[in-house]
Structure 1
Amino acid sequence: MRLIEIDDVRDAAQVIEGEVVRTPLLRADESLWLKPENLQPTGAFKLRGATYALSRLSAQARRAGVVTHSSGNHAYALAHAAARYGTPMVAVMPEVTTAVKREAVRARGAQIVLVPAAERESRTAALAAARGLTVVPPYDHPDVIAGQGTVGLEIVADLPDVDVVLVPVGGGGLSAGVATAVAALRPSAKVIGVEPALAADAAESLRTGTLCEWPVAQRARTSAEGLRGSLSALTLAHLRARLDRIVTVTEDEIAAAVPWLAARGRVVAEPSGAVATAAYLHHRSALPPGRTVAVVSGGNVDPAAFAAALRGGEIRDGAQRD
């Protein structure tokens, strides 16, 4: 199995330049910087990998159309990129996906197919076969991983002496790409994945050395819906080779990080986007010391739910829990 290398990430950076926002580093306290990927046009880092993967398809494949499965952010990103290319797109989304994410995808001209969460991948494969569409997966593809790796490229360029990079882990595309870039450019830095404790199958996979996939219903318990995916063999191989380790955070810790990011960083984060910061806030003593960057992976959150979080409630599937 071929792992992507730094040259793949550099190529992706050249291709997507001008198509995605080169997000800044924002200093949040004496040793923490934030990488606010919520500032992307689609509100999340996923635009990087989706844009690069689509660019790598043949003109014929782009004309025929693409299909993906996603809880929201990848579908939104691919719909945005597909609209730029004039490519037809179908998004297979879980029935529980928040309305704000569904409407964002639909507004970009994509067709949405809602299915039970456990049927996302099988329905995607069936649609691809029936309609002659190309599957652009949310993380299980080298081009997607290379595109997400540009986050790490920018971190090291802006903070060359970075010591620790905290990155959310769901399906593993972002963490695999970031770890690849940082390991090549700043070998002394530690790249640490952060995962919700209620969906910690990646932590188990790294601990056991084998791919562990928790039941969909079990992973669905976390408020961080963007991190409910499981690793693939490809992303696990990258993480085993290049990630330092994974730490897990509780739902209360995630919920507390959302208003902290708003107050201290002026950053709007969805629960998935807040997990890296949650690790810094609540597990700092267990992390390596030094200059730390937390990747805020996205900010596509329902406005009412975000308001509830600022009042001290929780965000859970777009609904308030006080």
Structure 2
Amino acid sequence: MQVGTVDFLMSTNKQYIGRFAPSPSGPLHFGSLVAALGSYLQARAERGTWLVRMEDLDPPREMPGAADDILRTLEAYGLEWDGGIMYQSQRHEAYQAQIEAWLDDQQAYYCQCTRKQIKLAGGFYPGSCRDLRLGAAGNAIRLKVDTPVLAFNDLLHGHISIPAPLAAEDFIIRRRDGLFAYNLAVVLDDIEQGITEVVRGADLIEPTGRQIGLYRLLGQPEVRYLHLPLAVTENGNKLSKQNHAPAIDKTNPRPALIAAMGFLGMQPPVDLVSSSVRDILLWGTAHWQVANLPATTAITLAHSAPSSG
């Protein structure tokens, strides 16, 4: 996809860079459309840049062909991104280099503790391996958290406090199976891409403190955060690929786009559904306001996801 292929969405604000970063564990569902649309409209309303990054960090959970299917779905919904696609699977050297630098500085260390042991210790890792100087074989790698981030400001939810036991926990940056941890990868990637604002689902509020801590440890400018409400089922479960949420319809995107705008607190006119995808997104960009977003972390869908295929 070429930069600026849609003339009315040409980027002009070089100071704003946002992104949508799906994991290719399945096709896009209504909940992921909400996240994609919210980040897209925020970037376009700011006349900024909107990037797409594929978070293919966990091969056992990925579905063959899902990454390409996600990109084709974004295209069908008119959500055209700027520049090329970053794939986390091509970023392993950068992640490993940073980990090795922290190991050399004794900012990170090897840990042999299992989830069962941590659960028995009260649910939070107590630092058991911090000073043991263990070897690499079969062990995870944790980052020392010496200055916990106890709160942050969210553009929608305001001041958010983080429980002290969670904030102070030395957290994993590489798993014992050798896979890199999300918190490490997402921050290094956002820095590499120059992201200035992260718009994503409220299920990612909890790790935000750790990510801010990484920015500070790395001496990098912190990004702003906007956590959108999650779409949940009547039994309280988040719409997700793991919960078998149905894929959105690539052949008829307009109803789901309109439904996603309504979910995000917008009030599109009834006849907008008969407009082109381009005009629907034009309307959305012109009427997007963070102040109109529902100030909640979850919204229950009365029925199955709108306009699923």
Give the TM-score of the pair, scaled to structure 1: 0.30
Higher CA-based Rg: 2
Which structure has greater helix proportion?
1
